[in-house]
Structure 1
């Protein structure tokens, strides 16, 4: 059994983790081979198999059923029984602003808040665990068919949110030999308390809290909670290896309440002139953080039940059901005003019977009073209850806005005024809704069913006015929250150095800078500084692609040219010689066997004594053959010239970086 890591350097792991963010394609065998060859100058040591979460039935079924947690991941399996290699790498993707290539919901960032910070949801962790278990079983079954003795060795790599997920998997399952967390979002004690009941009960026992009341965990002093949790998971976390840029934005926020630091950590100083954000986020009040934490915790059930729509219901009381309710009321009210059904009453009438006693007859009499639609009555009642709910939700949101404003003001002047002003505007929108609702909610519940069409009309018109205000103002609130979210992302991007330091490629570039390398996306750039101080830089990955594709194209052209030559010789030169040979053979036969050709002469008594043929067979026209030969020569010369140019470019790069013996191999290996 080979105990060595195959992806055995931080740069290799970082570059392959970067592949998980590929916008146009998934992690591929070709992409892994390319990076491995570029970094090691050798072929990967075994057969590579890729397993994607998007191709895993259990994960995709949840997504297709509207239960998309936002999780994405890949497992890479290296297998070579001859070298005792049977190792997998579980790679979990980090936070994306929006799912589905920027068209979906911000599930990752919601999970960062509700899952990591509050510990109230665990869907991404559950999907990561399910994915890892399912693929591990597939690999094990596949290997066991060939050998019973080669144990699967597992490692995990994760960046950002992905780094959080692989740490959570290790702390709860202890299934990895090594875990590599790159600029990770650290796990929190609250997150672990949700998925690890033993830990939650240990917390409750240590700090005298009710294990069934999760919210009581938020009242544990953060420093004491951190100390206890880190000691509890110390052994399982010993093989977690962090690679962290000192300037990374997530490292900046990792000091706030609940976050844990387990395993060993290697720092990379990607910019000596920038101190990072840790000191900035240290200014946040723990009291305000606790208020935010407990408020966000109340949103988790709504998000779990109905995703983004449920989250908006929990936050401001408005969801798609609310809009459907308004559509129902408008439709039913239209039916009432356009032409309602008429009510009727049964009346007993005494009818005279010609001197006999009157006979009582029951008659149904129409009344000019419209019958109020029961659907409208029900919908108005439901809307009244919903208006009351909206008022309560907005009141709760309003209570927590001061803490949010304080936090926005405490981070930095760059966003203090912008985000704080949005939060103040939200307060204004909430006030407008509350004012509009007034006492209408109570009146509707108490007096809605009074039997007067005038009263019904008054309440319907009034409640539709309130609904219109709610729709407008809640749209404004949503817009402000979106601007806060976008502003926060822009704020992080605006820090530039902190955002850049968070990227995997930037960390890899910082590590490789001393070797004259940097990385842009999945490409390796080589650079060196001349004695005159001039920096020369080459996109080596692109140069290798151009060289290999060019050589392949010229080889294709060479194959085609050879086929054309063969066809030319076969159909023209060889065919001419074949025809000429047949003709000469026929002539020789006539001269050798003249009697056989007597039938060619007229008359029956003629004797054929001899035939003599004086042949003159011209060769193929030189213009014809020269045209072909010139064309073949031209194409051959062009091919030779192109290959020489490609080899010249390769040779120049090899000479420029002659100290790196791997470059020649990189050009040759594929």
Structure 2
């Protein structure tokens, strides 16, 4: 909107990205002011107050994984005050778990509730009263956070506007679970039993989607939602699956012109296959973030840390006796995780050649890499089947030995032998599983990283900034001059930091040099003069009162029994001046270093300003100090 303080896509994107940095409030404000000046060329004329969700009373103790920041811009005269709610996308393992439960299954909306509560807390904290003033409340989000902000808007209508980039789209199954009013209308429209929450999954997805879109459009809650989506974004790639539907005004941007994106790949797959790929991708992501050993535990339940240091059968037997409870818990965890993982892998391997051929056609994989991926997935499926068989056999032996149907004279020894044998085999399988998993990581890692880059805010920023000669790296602005082989890129944010912080450092250094010279003067020159004054004062005292020193003369030179009388004293003194100490040379060397450094900074600034034709905006950047 025209009156938005953050009135451009790039400005909004940079602040959404800033929310991920975890800055303290003071630093967050400085960065907001710096970014605003870089993008507009003007100083931000508003006070800024910040509230982190971690400091909000309703979020304390919240276990949904929601994270966000409220930024309140207070303008002079309060004629354009605005409250921005920056909700954070998927960062923690808790977020990926939420992705699975909320956006795939549609059974969790806890982060939506947390978003709504945080908005209420922020309004109370900043004394934003709906009836007393016209403060606009604006949601900004990326990834999972779009699902949070948009769902909150559809259910509660708390935002005046919502801006999102590469968002996880709203899900009508999730809304059915979270919004009682909507659920009642769906039940009525499709004659569903209100006590059967799974009945909705049996409806025709197209009919349910159409009804959902019409329902919320009639309520007017979709107005003011604006989305930027990369055609290469993986979330866009899977958003054609059942459950998802976009809301608001959507602008598509091709951020990676070298790839066609993955939407076409997923659109060729049945919804059931997409769901399995989604679940497997999230499971893989959680495992990869956990690292190799922890990743194996996340995927299968097998916890190799229990067996650390064990080298032989006897060691395993001792561990069984000392860590029996941990081992039993591990086997129970494997019994829970392995079977569904096998189901997902099977659905993948049954179509893996076809699925990954699409990635080859799109240029993400080579044919050779595809063959390795298919082979290793098949290997993993076989290893998982063997793990499952071992666990089932082990459970069967335990049950038969302890329910009275055992064979042999000692059921305990029979179970012990079976348990230890199973553990040894599982640990052997672990090595093969890890090897296959690492081969997959080696090939799929770069592919997923490239696809993941298209989900990032940075790639979108660079696509938008291309036409205006701008690029971005982290939180920095890069100015671009020329094209092709003559293209020159200057990280202007880093250059300004170097210039400003360098000059500040040199000012400090100059004060230290002045203090050093003053200290040398005080300690040496002034000290010498003080001691010289003491000597001259003593000489004057002797010459003015010689008789008082008669005892000293008699003690040293008078014959025994005789006393000398001192009638006068004249000291022939020569006190040479202080020499051999030259401070000027020291000061000159140090000042020359400072001058040379200042010259370098000034020359660098001048060169950059000249490169960009002495643009007043570039010159202003060097002189602008956020909050100064």
Q: How does the TM-score come out when normalised to structure 2?
A: 0.74
> How far is the alpha carbon of 1:616 from its aligned partner?
11
Shifted more, 149-158 versus 504-513: the winner is 149-158
Cα deviation digits, residues 16-44 of structure 1 (max 9, x gap):
22223338989722322322222223333
Question: Take 1:58 and 1:52, find their aligned partners in 2: how far apart are those partners?
Answer: 12
Query: Which residue number in structure 1 is paired with residue 468 of structure 2?
Result: 515
> How far is the alpha carbon of 1:548 from its aligned partner?
0.7
Unaligned runs of 5+ in 1: 100-105, 300-310, 324-328, 336-375, 591-596, 603-612
Distance 1:167 1:44, change over 3 A: same
> How far is the alpha carbon of 1:168 from its aligned partner?
1.9
| Local SS of the residue matching 1:28 | helix
| Local SS of the residue matching 1:502 | coil
Query: Quick check: 2:266–2:274 contact (8 Å CA) kept in 1?
Result: no
| Local SS of the residue matching 1:194 | helix
Shifted more, 628-637 versus 9-18: the winner is 628-637
Question: Take 1:549 and 1:432, find their aligned partners in 2: how far apart are those partners?
Answer: 62
Question: Take 1:586 and 1:292, find their aligned partners in 2: how far apart are those partners?
Answer: 98
- Are 1:279 and 2:274 counterparts? no
Query: Which residue number in structure 2 is paired with residue 4 of structure 1?
Result: 3
- Are 1:432 and 2:376 counterparts? no
- Are 1:124 and 2:124 counterparts? no
| Local SS of the residue matching 1:270 | coil
Query: Which residue number in structure 2 is paired with residue 535 of structure 1?
Result: 487
Query: Which residue number in structure 2 is paired with residue 346 of structure 1?
Result: none
Query: Which residue number in structure 1 is paired with residue 231 of structure 2?
Result: 246
**Residues 103-502 of structure 1: matches in 2 within 5 Å?**
106-140=93-127, 149-150=132-133, 152-234=135-217, 235-289=220-274, 402-405=346-349, 408-413=352-357, 414=360, 421=375, 424-425=378-379, 427-429=381-383, 431-432=385-386, 435-436=389-390, 437=392, 441=396, 444=399, 448-449=403-404, 454=409, 456-457=411-412, 459-461=414-416, 464=419, 468=423, 490=445, 492-493=447-448, 496=450, 498-502=451-455
- Are 1:638 and 2:593 counterparts? yes
| Local SS of the residue matching 1:257 | coil
Cα deviation digits, residues 576-596 of structure 1 (max 9, x gap):
899999999999x99xxxxxx
**Residues 572-587 of structure 1: matches in 2 within 5 Å?**
none
> How far is the alpha carbon of 1:130 from its aligned partner?
3.8
Distance 1:180 1:330, change over 3 A: same
> How far is the alpha carbon of 1:540 from its aligned partner?
1.0
Distance 1:618 1:114, change over 3 A: same
| Local SS of the residue matching 2:228 | strand
| Local SS of the residue matching 1:454 | coil
Question: Take 1:196 and 1:668, find their aligned partners in 2: how far apart are those partners?
Answer: 52
> How far is the alpha carbon of 1:54 from its aligned partner?
4.3
Query: Quick check: 1:36–1:42 contact (8 Å CA) kept in 2?
Result: yes
Cα deviation digits, residues 60-100 of structure 1 (max 9, x gap):
645xxxx5x4433222232345454532322222234xx3x
Question: Take 2:547 and 2:14, find their aligned partners in 1: how far apart are those partners?
Answer: 90
Query: Quick check: 2:320–2:420 contact (8 Å CA) kept in 1?
Result: no
Measured on the aligned residues, the alpha-carbon RMSD in Å equals 5.0
| Local SS of the residue matching 2:170 | coil
Shifted more, 149-158 versus 240-249: the winner is 149-158
> How far is the alpha carbon of 1:601 from its aligned partner?
8.0
> How far is the alpha carbon of 1:653 from its aligned partner?
0.9
Question: Take 2:139 and 2:72, find their aligned partners in 1: how far apart are those partners?
Answer: 12
Query: Which residue number in structure 2 is paired with residue 356 of structure 1?
Result: none
Distance 1:49 1:330, change over 3 A: farther
Cα deviation digits, residues 407-426 of structure 1 (max 9, x gap):
64553325765565555445
Question: Take 1:460 and 1:139, find their aligned partners in 2: how far apart are those partners?
Answer: 65
- Are 1:525 and 2:510 counterparts? no
> How far is the alpha carbon of 1:209 from its aligned partner?
2.4
Question: Take 2:141 and 2:482, find their aligned partners in 1: how far apart are those partners?
Answer: 34
Shifted more, 410-419 versus 241-250: the winner is 410-419
Distance 1:425 1:469, change over 3 A: farther
Query: Quick check: 1:318–1:474 contact (8 Å CA) kept in 2?
Result: no
Query: Quick check: 2:161–2:224 contact (8 Å CA) kept in 1?
Result: yes
Query: Which residue number in structure 2 is paired with residue 607 of structure 1?
Result: none
> How far is the alpha carbon of 1:219 from its aligned partner?
2.0
Query: Which residue number in structure 1 is paired with residue 86 of structure 2?
Result: 91
Query: Which residue number in structure 1 is paired with residue 621 of structure 2?
Result: 666
Query: Quick check: 1:429–1:473 contact (8 Å CA) kept in 2?
Result: no
Distance 1:185 1:395, change over 3 A: closer
Query: Quick check: 1:189–1:259 contact (8 Å CA) kept in 2?
Result: yes
Query: Quick check: 1:419–1:487 contact (8 Å CA) kept in 2?
Result: no
> How far is the alpha carbon of 1:255 from its aligned partner?
1.2
User: Looking at CA atoms only, which structure, 1 or 2, has the larger radius of gyration?
Assistant: 1
Q: Which of 67, 70, 94 in structure 2 is aligned with 1:75?
A: 70
Distance 1:178 1:619, change over 3 A: farther
| Local SS of the residue matching 2:86 | strand
Distance 1:400 1:524, change over 3 A: closer
Query: Which residue number in structure 1 is paired with residue 457 of structure 2?
Result: 504
| Local SS of the residue matching 1:7 | coil
> How far is the alpha carbon of 1:181 from its aligned partner?
0.9
Question: Take 1:474 and 1:129, find their aligned partners in 2: how far apart are those partners?
Answer: 47
Query: Which residue number in structure 1 is paired with residue 558 of structure 2?
Result: none
> How far is the alpha carbon of 1:432 from its aligned partner?
3.3
Q: Which of 481, 498, 521 in structure 2 is aligned with 1:546?
A: 498
Query: Quick check: 2:89–2:143 contact (8 Å CA) kept in 1?
Result: yes
Q: How does the TM-score come out when normalised to structure 1?
A: 0.69
Question: Take 1:13 and 1:655, find their aligned partners in 2: how far apart are those partners?
Answer: 30
> How far is the alpha carbon of 1:206 from its aligned partner?
1.9
Question: Take 2:300 and 2:352, find their aligned partners in 1: how far apart are those partners?
Answer: 21
Question: Take 1:571 and 1:292, find their aligned partners in 2: how far apart are those partners?
Answer: 77
Query: Which residue number in structure 2 is paired with residue 48 of structure 1?
Result: 48
How many residues are matched? Answer: 566
> How far is the alpha carbon of 1:172 from its aligned partner?
2.1
Query: Quick check: 1:284–1:410 contact (8 Å CA) kept in 2?
Result: no
> How far is the alpha carbon of 1:502 from its aligned partner?
2.0
Question: Take 1:315 and 1:647, find their aligned partners in 2: how far apart are those partners?
Answer: 57
Question: Take 1:582 and 1:220, find their aligned partners in 2: how far apart are those partners?
Answer: 106
> How far is the alpha carbon of 1:151 from its aligned partner?
5.1
Query: Quick check: 1:250–1:502 contact (8 Å CA) kept in 2?
Result: yes
